Amino acid sequence: MKEDIEKVLISADEIKVKKEEIGERITREYQHRFPLVIGVLKGAMPFMADLTRSINAHLEIDFMDVSSYGNQMTSSGEVKIVKDLDSSVEGRDIIIIEDIIDSGLTLSYLVSLFHHRKANSVKIVTLLDKPEGRKADIVPDIAGFTVPDEFVVGYGLDYAERYRNLPYIGILKPDIYRDS
Ligand code: XMP
Ligand code: MG
């Protein structure tokens, strides 16, 4: 699998340092607020697992799975709920955990949905931000790293459901796309 990677963009060590920093910040900002931390499946899974263990505050965890109608590499903006939350967001302080914000359409939908469901506050934490891809007016409250407008894989991010288990963020060799 690792032989398919052309270049490592963000190493496992860099991710580790960053999640500690973000975890400390959330610890300070959310003491005694019992936030509901919502991971967006499947991509946010490793970041969610690592980040929440760096937060020293009581919190609740939930997951949501949404799919946007589009092809493998871009989203169309029409979002469908595949798995909804178990918990109610009414009156809660929500922290959405994402792997990457590209067009921002997925998050734009989720933020409106949680406001509609009467959340007290909604904050966005993303490991990666790809600002050049933006179509919706979405700015993350916390972003780990800014990435260029290239397709990235690893640490939750997939190409055709593969590479989510890479411990770092990388760019695939071009022939991997060509051959599939
Ligand atoms: P938006 O709605 O912000 O959606 O366009 C973000 C979702 O799109 C996927 N995405 C990527 N997945 N490498 C990936 O593996 C990428 O470079 C990439 N850019 C966007 C991803 O599912 C993310 O949650
Ligand atoms: Mg995703």
Q: Where do the domains of the chain lie, and which CATH numbers do they carry?
A: 13-147 (3.40.50.2020)
* pLDDT score of 76: 61
pLDDT in tens, 56-80: 999 999 999 998 766 555 666 678 8
* pLDDT score of 77: 64
pTM reported for the whole predicted model: 0.94
**In this model, does residue 149 exceed pLDDT 60?**
yes
* pLDDT score of 140: 98
Atom 19 (ligand 1) nearest CA: 102
Atom 22 (ligand 1) nearest CA: 43
Top mutation candidate among 66, 75, 128 for ligand 1, by most atoms within 8 Å of CB: 75
Q: Between vectors from CA 136 to CA 133 and to CA 137, what angle results, nearest 5°?
A: 110
